[in-house]
A and B are shown apart, each in its own frame.
Chain A
Amino acid sequence: MRANLPPYAELHCISNFTFLRGASHPEELVVRAKALGYLAIAITDECSLSGIVRAHVAAGKEGIDLLVGSEFRLQEGWRFLLLATDRGSYGKLSHLITLARRQAKKGEYSIDRNLVQDNCPTGCLAIWLPCFNRGEIETHGLHWLAGLFPGALWIAVESLLDGNDQEQLRRLQEISAGFSIPLCACGDVHIHEHKRRIVQDTLTAIRLGKPLSELGYGVYSNGERHLRSRRRLAQLYPRPLLEETVRIAERCHFSLDELRYEYPSELVPKHHTPGSWLRRLTEQGMQTRWPGGAPEKVRALIEHELALVQEFSYEHYFLTVHDIVKFARSKGILCQGRGSAANSATCYCLGITEVNPDAMDLLFERFISRERNEPPDIDVDFEHERREEVIAYIYEKYGRERAALAATVITYRPKSALRDVGKALGMSTDHLERLAACVSGRHGNTLETAQLDGFPAHSPLVRRLVYLVNNLIGFPRHLSQHVGGFVISQGLLSHLVPVENAAMPERTVIQWEKDDLEALGLLKVDVLSLGMLTAIRKALALVSQYRNEPLTLDKVPTEDPAVYKMMQKADTVGVFQIESRAQMSMLPRLKPENYYDLVIQIAIVRPGPIQGDMVHPYLRRRHGEEPVTYPGKAVEKVLKRTLGVPIFQEQVMQLAMVAAGFSAGEADQLRRCMAAWHRKGGLEPFEKKLLGGMKARGYPESFARQIFNQIKGFGEYGFPESHSASFALLAYVSSWLKYYHPAAFTCALLNSQPLGFYRPAQLVQDAQRHGVTVLPVDVNESNYDCTLEGAPGQAGTPATLRLGLRLVKGLSRAGAHILALERKQGRYAGVQDIAARTGLDKGDLMSLADAAALNGIGKDRHRACWEVLDPGPGAPLFSAPDEEETDLMLRKPREGENILADYASIGFTLRRHPLALLRKRLDKRGVTTSTGLWELGDNAWARTAGIVTSRQRPATSSGVMFFTLEDETGFINSVIWPSIFAKQGAMLTAAKLLEISGVVQKQDGVLHLVARQCTDLSPWLGDMQLKSRDFC
């Protein structure tokens, strides 16, 4: 039957990447077009190609031709489509989009006839979209297009049942005859099927900022802008118009697969090929790394790697990363690569990583998969305070035309969808606020009616709301910039992919995101930022300064047993990665003794191993409580280094290959799927194949199931060995610094805030516990940063840390710097002296007074504030200041007041802990201190109290919350069951000072208090401004 219908290709179709206009995902459009028997479909998003890669991937799967195009509306009001026919015309189209986007605000475009004329995308096919105005058609646009696209121009006939279709067709036929330009049928498609129409209307309401009921003629009168059946099209359009679409489609030969991406070649000197230059650099590095000659194993590895790199022509990529890293090194910016390609022997030689391949057994081959020809992935972390310098270098070296950041598509989440849909449905602000309160970030990616507490589930409004919200979740909303994924090209980047403005001034992003780049096999360099690198660099600098000899990362002594001993005691506040509550409670159990233990330690406290139930088997085997066995020889090879228990992402993939018969490519697909299944699903086919494959190879089902559970657990948090290996290095170095140079380490951490798990308060207290003397902020002593004072102590390290002005809340950065600079001319005598010499404004001076930074010049907080508030002698309308200022009867601050004010200003106090002041009252309630808890037996009943410093609800804990309290003697880890949280949630979320009664649980040197009853004692603190760091 269908065979008799005229063939059709849809040429005018926008996806939801034309934000708030299109209402179907590109994939949906492609799948539907194929199902309807269309011969081809064009995705013509408005001045954008951001959805095209998704459509391309879907079209590949479905086996339908995809045409690449775009819709434009000129400032003159003329509208038309452009379709790329080949690589050349695609490049010009992409460039035109770039120009239109770059000269407008973020998210907008601006194009007029001159821009098109000057940058005419010749080779493209153009389709004019006529505009009807009360039956009249203005043809200037057509006339103009005819001059630009001779023989490649059509007139679109769009029959959308608006009552005038026949009349319009007749008029267009006249125009077609008059201009000798052929007509073709188009659908002005916004949605893939009619059902989606209500989402389309809702998006219109969101776009126009009005409720649906007030849209009037702003909304389409019907839902005809969907992909219609060919039967329907045959009824609506004359046959020749439908057949013409196919002729147009046949002229478009371009596929995104043709995009080949060339990395900059300027890094290769003359007389060298990229391969020979990479080999030269690698060999040079090898000599530096192993002055006595590299081990045979490493040499073989390097040969293997270089051969692979050559096979896939990735030399430029490695050279580009090397160049960026070389720049950072030259500027003293610490950096470290991660990822398996980064931790290759080649990258070790190139200085991209410090992970010694001799000590590791990483799978370089994973990211350069022979089968799928996929690009390697190297993430490079830079110091967070200096990453901008690296980005500036990249822009400067390659220019804005050749370098841009990858995009991140920001999509609707339940909360944002709820807010927008609620507004579109005309709900009141009151209702919207109540609705938003019902949805928290913890809920999944769908909205259940049951979540809307207090709203009638069966009311049509609520049902509509839930339906629309669930449809809208996952819809792209706008493009943002990727955290650091750079795309750099040999030629103009805009000929590869459109580039547009980002929100940050002087930043540009390409219209594709990470997944799109991967799908097309394009490379990107991840220039990421890491706070710990900043802290380590600063700590090394401080140590170098007082030791009077430079200390660098590679000179830090390795494998120091004393450092591992400290880790085993979980004495790791401030240390990279292994400082969190969960890591700390694992350290005394796992007892890391060497670098590789640390690699495991970092990877094991993750949802993957925890949900896959890998932690306890590993610990039992490690402690010799369970025999180390393997279900087979092949598996033994994969799991030997982790005692037969899969812990790393790589191992799971290898297992899939050796035990379930996955090919390398399939295993890689599995990895991608693992990362995205929480959001997109799609793990089921792998489950079947994995379980079946393992069964066929004789593995027990329980083992197979365990592996699959772990794959699921990995989810987005899957931790590869290659990343853990890089992190373990930093964890070790930071531990070493903490152990041998606690003052310098704390000083560096304070000067690199914000970073890590702990606030300055905990870092300072921890330093004090380790014998560091901490001195308060003082205008006559402190610099902007925290500093070390005094002569080196016994161990050769100064033990006195002076807090810096940077900790003073409200003090401007510039003010703090001027204060420190001007002090070089002489110490400050008083408030007026500071004001006169530095010109600090009242706000800055008041911040100093609040921080008690003026105590050193004899002004307590009250007196300092009184002086700061003095408008000065020049103030009009007031009498001259009283001379008898010395008799001022201002009360001295009490200790409690000072403590509260310390917390309010610098976030902690060097005086007594607030709980020390409350201890008598707490004793009366029978409250035990943190250290007191250790004296109690396991399972003892206890009551304790402390300031809440963190609240955590790990994804793996099925609702159990972990609270950390702090009193004057230390920390208390407390476990709050969901049943208690359900009853007292609001109080627990808000409480600053909490009393918990419950049962003491001790295991492997870790103490937890399992809460039975909680009481809010916050009023005891007065209006103390404490903020805990919540990780909910």
Chain B
Amino acid sequence: MPRPISALSFRDSLLYREEEACNKTGTSTGQQALWLAVCLPRLALEVHPHNEIAREKRLEALAAWALQFSPLVSLHPPCSFLLEAGGSINYFGGLAAIRDTIARELTERWKHVFYQATTPTPTASLMLARAGCNLLVERGADLRSVLGPLGIEVLPLDDKRRQQLNKTGVRILRDLWRLPSGELARRFGTDLVTHLDQALGKLPDPLNAYRIPPRFFDTREFSFEIGEQQSLLPAVHELVTGLCDFLQKQDLYTMDYQVHFYYREDPVTVLHIGLRQPIRQPGYLMLLAETKLSRTKLATAVVRVTLTAERFYRVAPRTRCLFSGSGLEQEDQDIAPLLEQLSTRLGAAALESITTHADHRPEYACRAGVSVSAGPAPPDNRRPLWLLPKPRELLNKDDGIYYRSRIHFLMGPERIVTGWWDNHGIHRDYYVGTDDIAGRVWIYHDLTTRQKWYLHGLFG
């Protein structure tokens, strides 16, 4: 966390002009490189992992926004960013205008508490902004005395090094200027000395420029309305090819993309095309789009088609092994495209498979799912493969239990009393029996207060 305390010393200082002073003199800084650092201390307080992602996103959004002021913006997580303002001064009509705009928008639009510092070096600007100083230093020669009173907390040191510096009595940067740099480097590493030299402009200060993340968007306008779905395919094909070219160039893969069909009046139709793994083969991507389109009913004639893709992956898809270790794995891979096509053609809800699940409760032991992998082995007893969706109550007469006819007991009981931990506990005695008409049946006696008999499954 920056320590705003350091800023206090600057507020009283007359040596370095605060923003207002700068406005009055109207100094033109010409083409000199000036680095404007912005620090948003509250962002650093977001420590929850969930919020950390959000914080990164917010910082990126700010960087993207800052690109309007300068082509060169760089991110300095957790809570700072930097832009080169010298080159934009003429365009914006003065540095003050840039600083003003930034300050206003950060306060009004982004609702941020922030510090901004501008100096001839990126490192010095960041140090000052992080230390909580709103400050402008135009001359490199002034940097040494401006930075002097800052605490060593502004240096990128690990805790151990910082403690060691503390132990030698070094508390502020001025203490460091007094020490021979060769000796400092011997003790605390060349990085420290380099960093200090970069802050003073003695050494170049390379930065990672921020770039807006990739997004694919392409569109085809038709000069006439197209009503036939088949006639839309060439346009879709072009768009998909465009997407694949984009992926190829950027060395990316995608797992989903959207095709939008616009009409003159009706609301837009969107096809969401999702994949089971990251991919960029044109043929396959086109096949899925085609299949999906053939299952979709378009409202009226289409005037425009667009394709967007926003989520990308840098991972290569799995390649098939020449010598496959397990047959199942191979089968899994072979069956994947088929399942994808089936699910695209019939809809995800139409595709179901049975998976086994380790649970004594019969209702939970078989579940519908899409997994094709083998589940855990069921316990050492006999169970029917298919269960009734809901157990069916049986007739309990004096002489026995009836389904279609009187049931003769073959095996049992198997007592299942479990599941108390999730409010779906059961308390039952299961039996295998035969019914003259229905064949072998799986029935149970509910041992709770209900004390009733139910049919739960039929053996094949």
> Chain B contact residues (Cβ within 8 angstroms of A): what range?
35 or more
A161 to B414, CA, bound (A): 5
Q: In the complex, are the beta carbons of A865 and B167 less than 8 A apart? A: yes
Contact of A132 among B378, B380, B411 (CB under 8 A): B380
Query: With A162-B379, A862-B168, A865-B167 in contact, is A221–B182 under 8 Å at CB?
Result: no
Chain A residues, CB < 8 A from B418: 201, 219-222
Known pairs A162-B379, A216-B357, A221-B418 / 10 extra A-B pairs, C-beta < 8 Å: A133-B380, A163-B430, A197-B417, A213-B421, A221-B417, A222-B416, A879-B182, A890-B179, A891-B175, A892-B169
Residue from A846, A862, A875 having most chain B Cβ neighbours under 10 A: A862
Contact of B167 among A213, A222, A426, A850 (CB under 8 A): A850
Q: In the complex, are the beta carbons of A161 and B187 less than 8 A apart? A: no
Q: Among residues 315 to 371 in chain B, which have CB atoms less than 8 Å away from a CB atom of chain A?
A: 357-360
Is B105 on the interface with A (CB-CB < 8 A)? no
Chain B residues, CB < 8 A from A133: 380
Query: With A163-B412, A222-B417 in contact, is A217–B169 under 8 Å at CB?
Result: no
A818-831 vs B, CB cutoff 8 Å, 1 = contact: the mask equals 00000000000000
Residue from A163, A216, A464 having most chain B Cβ neighbours under 10 A: A163
CB of B445 to closest CB in A, whole Å = 12
CB of B191 to closest CB in A, whole Å = 12
Is A256 on the interface with B (CB-CB < 8 A)? no
A218 to B418, CA, bound (A): 12
CB of A506 to closest CB in B, whole Å = 37
A879 to B381, CA, bound (A): 79
Chain A residues, CB < 8 A from B186: 870-871, 875, 878-879, 881
Q: In the complex, are the beta carbons of A221 and B167 less than 8 A apart? A: no
> Chain A contact residues (Cβ within 8 angstroms of B): what range?
35 or more
Chain A residues, CB < 8 A from B416: 221-222
Interface residues of A (CB under 8 A from B): 132-135, 161-164, 166-167, 197-198, 201, 212-213, 215-224, 425-426, 460, 464, 846, 849-850, 861-863, 865-866, 869-871, 875, 878-879, 881-882, 884-885, 888-893, 897
Q: In the complex, are the beta carbons of A223 and B417 less than 8 A apart? A: yes
Q: In the complex, are the beta carbons of B180 and A862 less than 8 A apart? A: no
A163 to B416, CA, bound (A): 9
Chain B residues, CB < 8 A from A879: 182, 185-186
Chain B residues, CB < 8 A from A426: 421
Contact of A866 among B187, B358, B412 (CB under 8 A): B187
CB of B162 to closest CB in A, whole Å = 12
A161 to B164, CA, bound (A): 70
A233 to B374, CA, bound (A): 39
Chain A residues, CB < 8 A from B417: 197, 221-223
A849 to B164, CA, bound (A): 11
Q: In the complex, are the beta carbons of B376 and A871 less than 8 A apart? A: no
A163 nearest in chain B by CB position: B414
Is B422 on the interface with A (CB-CB < 8 A)? yes
Q: In the complex, are the beta carbons of B182 and A162 less than 8 A apart? A: no
Contact of A164 among B167, B169, B381 (CB under 8 A): B381
CB of A859 to closest CB in B, whole Å = 11
Interface residues of B (CB under 8 A from A): 164, 167-169, 175, 178-180, 182-183, 185-188, 357-360, 376, 378-382, 411-418, 420-423, 429-430
Contact of A881 among B179, B183, B359, B420 (CB under 8 A): B183
CB of B274 to closest CB in A, whole Å = 29
CB of A778 to closest CB in B, whole Å = 19
Q: Which 10 pairs, one residue from A and one from B, show the smallest C-beta to C-beta distance?
A: A216-B358, A163-B414, A862-B169, A161-B415, A221-B360, A889-B178, A865-B167, A163-B381, A869-B187, A222-B415
B416 nearest in chain A by CB position: A221
A201 to B421, CA, bound (A): 10
Q: In the complex, are the beta carbons of A163 and B411 less than 8 A apart? A: yes
A912 to B188, CA, bound (A): 33
Residue from A213, A224, A866 having most chain B Cβ neighbours under 10 A: A866
A216 to B356, CA, bound (A): 11
Q: In the complex, are the beta carbons of B168 and A869 less than 8 A apart? A: yes
Chain A residues, CB < 8 A from B359: 216
A220 to B376, CA, bound (A): 16
Q: In the complex, are the beta carbons of B164 and A869 less than 8 A apart? A: yes
Chain A residues, CB < 8 A from B381: 162-164
CB of B237 to closest CB in A, whole Å = 48
CB of A203 to closest CB in B, whole Å = 13
Q: In the complex, are the beta carbons of B380 and A890 less than 8 A apart? A: no
Chain B residues, CB < 8 A from A870: 183, 186-187
CB of A226 to closest CB in B, whole Å = 11
A134 nearest in chain B by CB position: B380
A197 to B415, CA, bound (A): 14
Chain A residues, CB < 8 A from B382: 163
A888 nearest in chain B by CB position: B179
A215 nearest in chain B by CB position: B358
Query: With A161-B413, A162-B414, A869-B187 in contact, is A217–B379 under 8 Å at CB?
Result: yes
A167 to B411, CA, bound (A): 9
Q: In the complex, are the beta carbons of B358 and A865 less than 8 A apart? A: no
CB of A871 to closest CB in B, whole Å = 6
A878 to B415, CA, bound (A): 78
A871 nearest in chain B by CB position: B186
Query: With A216-B359, A425-B421, A865-B167 in contact, is A889–B179 under 8 Å at CB?
Result: yes
Chain A residues, CB < 8 A from B420: 198, 201
Chain A residues, CB < 8 A from B360: 217, 219, 221
B359 nearest in chain A by CB position: A216
A134 to B379, CA, bound (A): 8
